[in-house]
Amino acid sequence: MRLYLQTLPEAGATPRYYQLALEQDLLGGWTLVREWGTQGGKPGGRREVYLERDAALAAFEAARDAQLRRGFRVMFAQGS
């Protein structure tokens, strides 16, 4: 599951982005990968590991909702 969010471009400002990815590892756990930054700039990132899919999905949805409240818009979504 992958989600790419971006702010609308403003005059003189570089758009910001936030990317979320939920991935299952080989041992059955789940990793939430977050990446953020400005277009063309150095990205920041963080990985969070969860044992249960439900907990990982709840964290994914909470991160998505927080960014939508901050003015980001969904540009690309993959997976369910």
Q: Is 21 left (phi over 0), alpha (psi -120 to 50) or beta?
A: beta
Is the pLDDT assigned to residue 11 strictly greater than 90? no
Between the alpha carbon of residue 48 and those of residues 12, 20, 22, 29, 75, the distances in Å are 34, 11, 10, 11, 23
pLDDT band at 14; cut points 50, 70, 90: confident
Is the pLDDT assigned to residue 50 strictly greater than 90? yes
For range 60-78, the mean pLDDT: 95
Distance of CA 10 to the CA centre of its chain: 22
Between the alpha carbon of residue 51 and those of residues 25, 30, 48, the distances in Å are 10, 6, 10
